[in-house]
Amino acid sequence: MDVLATACELLLDEPVFNETVAVRRCARLLAAELADWAFVDLTGPGGPALPGAGGATAADAVPMLRRQVAMGPDDERSVEAARMLEELEPVQGTLPHTVFLTRQSTVRPHVDDLELLGVCPDGQPVCAKIGATSVLSVPIEDGERCLGTITLTASGDYGPFDLVDLGVVQRLGRYLALVIRASRLYRRRAEVADTLQAGLLPKTLPEIPGASVAARYLTATHGAAEVGGDFYDVFRTEDGWGLILGDVCGKGEDAAAVTATARHCARLAARWKPTPGDVLGVVNEALLDEDRFVTAVMAGLTMETERALVSLGVAGHPPAIVVRADGVIRSASRGGVPLGLFEDFEPGLDGVELAVGDTLVLYSDGVLEGCNLQRQEFGMERLLETLAAHAKDKPEGMLAAVERALLEFCDGDLRDDVSMLALRVEPPSLN
């Protein structure tokens, strides 16, 4: 029972279920506490269903088992053998394969057939290779499907295995199955979220004559299975170009719908509204009936020879940053209230002129709120220092530097989505 208690702690000690971590922890525990060797073999997400589950029949195709881990003693010879055994798939006729197909746990107190676990590439039976004298194998079942098997062998200090050992490993197999199922479900949801998120962001950014532009989007480490609320876009306006970056309150499908509304409404309104403040006013009106608010900052650009005239509108969002070519930093576009809260919306307004080499940076609060292990935030000061240090970089390099600094500060653990958008005025082309 101590083994089961320890297993529960190891398998559940993760903020997000991780199949690979769970399998290796399980094998390591078993090889240390119950057996000389532990093997875990799994099929893919579509393992064979139990009879009668979802109309499954015996004629259903059976996926192939794949060895995930082989864990044995710590001596050099065993470590070398483990690497070889992890490449050895449980073929038809071996005990793990039979247990997988029949879903019947099996214990062999004494090994009579040395080829019970298969044969090594050099022709030596696995049982002989590792000195197995007792073997047990149990299915990893989640109630509907058999996901794989756990197989243990004993030779010296452990064994022979008995029904008590079999019962313990059976329960552990059920625990592991639940973790694997949760991990795969989470992964599928994350893939769907990534697909939806990609649909909310522009696939490519347009080329703006006289300027270079780049964007970055990072998904939060936690809550990765939900669609984030950050968005950005670059588009033509009535008399120039528009850049917008925003953040919808919350995550999930509802937030995604609001994100799509805000982004596409801004793109459409920019065709006939002359200023970012006016565009944000239209977006605010469109969001009044929603139950989520949106913070956003928008820049309207008129490109001229060797400069860009920028008008800014902000709705409760972190201020835009101007990085001069010489490294001097200026924050702009403060104020305003979030979109979708009040009918009498008043944006924060500002204007700035960009010369050749100057860069305009828009970003979400996920940049500022990234935390390290001491729960200190990345903050505005670190952001400005990083931008100033890379003032001469192109937008792509500048945003990449911020990303590196943020991930290093947070040790790769982002608690919120991060989006960044940057535009730099370039010198006239010689062509």
- Mean pLDDT in residue range 71-95: 88
Report, as an integer, the average pLDDT of 324-332. 89
Rounded mean pLDDT of 326-348? 88
> Could you tell me the pLDDT band of residue 8, with boundaries at 50, 70 and 90?
low
For the cut 70, the answer to whether the pLDDT of residue 291 exceeds it is: yes
* Concatenated DSSP letters of 71-111: E--SSHHHHHHHHHHHT----TTSHHHHHHHH---EEESS-
Q: At what angle do helices 253-269 and 276-287 cross, to 10 degrees?
A: 140
**Dist CA 230 CA 197 (whole Å):** 9
pLDDT surpasses 60 at 209: yes
> Is the separation of the CB atoms in 248 and 257 below 8 Å?
no
Contacts of residue 251, Cβ cutoff 8 Å, sequence gap at least 6? 223, 226, 227, 228, 229
Q: Which two tokens stand for residue 117?
A: 């676990």
Around Cβ 211, how many Cβ atoms within 10 Å?
18
The number of C-alpha atoms within 13 Å of 127 and in the hemisphere containing its C-beta is: 20
Q: What is the pLDDT of residue 403?
A: 94
User: Would you say residue 253 has pLDDT above 80?
Assistant: no
To the nearest 10 degrees (0 to 180), the angle between helices 2-12 and 19-33 is: 160
Stretch 79-108: mean pLDDT, rounded?
Answer: 92
CA-closest candidate to residue 332, choices 349, 355, 346, 347: 349
* pLDDT tens track for 118-163: 999 999 999 999 999 999 999 999 877 899 999 999 987 676 899 9
Confidence band for 393, pLDDT divided at 50, 70 and 90 = very high
Alpha carbons 14 and 144: distance in angstroms, whole number: 24
Q: Is residue 60 pLDDT above 80, yes or no? A: no
Give whole-number Cα distances, 268 to 185, 279, 283, 378, in Å: 37, 9, 10, 35
Task: Give me the residue spans of the domains in the chain.
Answer: 2-192, 201-425
Q: How many C-beta atoms lie closer than 10 Å to residue 253's C-beta? A: 11
pLDDT greater at residue 199 or residue 384: 384
Over the chain, what is the mean pLDDT? Answer: 85
Q: Looking at beta carbons, which pairs linking 3-8 to residues 24 or more positions away fall under 8 Å? A: 3/29, 3/30, 3/33, 3/34, 3/168, 3/172, 4/168, 4/171, 4/172, 4/175, 6/33, 7/172, 7/175, 8/175
User: Which numeric CATH code is attached to 201-425?
Assistant: 3.60.40.10
- Lowest-confidence pick of 63-67, 220-224, 281-285: 220-224
pLDDT of residue 62: 54
The string of pLDDT tens digits covering residues 348-386 is 999 999 999 999 999 999 999 988 888 899 999 999 999
> Residue 324: which of 345, 354, 282 has the closest Cα?
354
Instruction: Look up residue 185 and give its DSSP letter.
Output: H
Alpha helix stretches (DSSP H) within 152-211: 163-200
Does 186 score more than 80 pLDDT? Answer: no
Task: Name the strand (E) or helix (H) holding 361.
Answer: strand 359-363
In Å, how far are 101, 126, 155, 194, 245 from 235, measured between CA atoms?
A: 57, 64, 69, 23, 12
Contact 301, 240 (CB under 8 A): yes
Are 314 and 320 in contact by the 8 Å Cβ rule? The answer is: yes
Domain 2-192: give its CATH code: 3.30.450.40
CB of 173 within 8 A of CB of 66?
Answer: no
Q: What pLDDT, on the 0 to 100 scale, is given for residue 417?
A: 86
Q: What is the pLDDT of residue 198?
A: 60
Check residue 54 and give its pLDDT: 45
Confidence (pLDDT) at 51: 43
| H-run or E-run covering 262 | helix 253-269
How much is the average pLDDT of 16-38?
A: 83
388 three-state secondary structure:
helix
Calculate what percentage of the chain has a pLDDT beyond 70. 85
Verdict on whether the full-model pTM lies above 0.85: no
Greater pLDDT, 307 or 256: 307
Cα atoms found within 13 Å of the Cα of residue 191, Cβ hemisphere only: 6
The pLDDT score that the predictor gives to residue 137 is: 96
pLDDT tops 60 at residue 61: no
pLDDT tier at 3, thresholds 50, 70, 90: low
The whole-number pLDDT of residue 7 equals 58
Is the pLDDT at 251 greater than 90? The verdict is: no
Nearby residues of 409 by Cβ (< 8 Å), 6 or more positions away: 370, 372, 378, 382
Q: Is the pLDDT of residue 46 over 60?
A: no
